[in-house]
Amino acid sequence: MIHKIHHLHCGSMCPVCAPLVGQNGWRAHIVCHCLLLETDHGLVLVDTGLGLQDYLHPKERLGTLLPQISQIEIKFELSAIQQIQQLGFNPKDVKHIFVTHLDFDHAGGISDFPQATVHVLASEFNATQSMNIKNRMRYKSNQFKKHRYWNFIEHTSGERWFNLEKVHGLSLFKDEILMIPLIGHSAGHCGIAIRQKEKGWMLFCGDAYFSHLELNAQHRQKGLDLFERFLAYDNQQRLHNLKQLQYLAQNETQIEMMCAHDPVELQRYRNQAN
């Protein structure tokens, strides 16, 4: 059973690209929104943001160019491991990590939890083994290559979940945590659906969209569309899944939805939790 959901702020980036992520001004404010779940089977992380080692050794972990372009704020207290400690938990109690995908700003904290099992679509992990130009930009294998415990899930059709396909629900969690394919941004991108106690579902969408404004199908922003198109592994699939999410947002009131990088959404859910 999922007893409580904490919304963590596991990274801040301020690149010179505000219009490209649906924000006003010049510099963007991009957060790394992650979730910490209190369950009957220990703590569960949904994405990990940037890890402690990314903050301690940014050049070794991320290279020279990426931290400069992204303007990553070096704040150790933003690492998931420090926030978990601040909440009064032992990081060793993090038993499972569900990742939407393995981009550097989602997988950096994996190395901070060596005892945890990482659940990821097999197609996503396989993509990290092929370093073309775009993959070299997005994947930083130093973050997770030494991790020992993985659960690679095949991207196959599963049961339907509303208007989406369910890939996998762990029997350990009695299908209260589901991995749902949202391929497009990356080769094995997925959403994580969480059944909340007496509150319906929460759907963590990772990078399937970047701004809450996109959940309105009438909203159009050329800069944001260009940015997401540039990052996409398969833009047609990305657009198809975005339409599916827009339908859910407009028609399924029992689903709370959020993405990984929108500071407005992060603040909204943190306010609700307080």
Listing DSSP states for 220-272 in one string gives: --HHHHHHHHHH-S-HHHHHHHHHHHHHHHHH-TTEEEE-SS-HHHHHHHHHH
Each residue's pLDDT tens digit, 13-40: 987 777 777 777 878 888 999 999 999 9
- How many domains are contained in the chain? 1
State in Å, rounded, how far the first CA of the chain is from the last one: 21
Please tell me the predicted confidence (pLDDT) of residue 274.
61
Structure tokens at 105: 């700003």
Spans in the chain with pLDDT lower than 50: none
**Burial per residue of 166-202, b for 16 or more beta-carbon CB atoms within 10 angstroms, e otherwise:** bbbbbeebeebbbbbbbbbbbbbbbbbbbbeeeeebb
| Residue range(s) defining the domain that contains residue 94 | 2-273
Provide the greatest CA pair distance for the chain: 47
- In whole angstroms, what is the distance from residue 79 CA to residue 99 CA? 16
Please tell me the predicted confidence (pLDDT) of residue 18.
78
Structure tokens at 221: 């922003």
**CATH number, position 35:** 3.60.15.10
**3 state DSSP class of 96:** strand
Structure tokens at 135: 């993959």
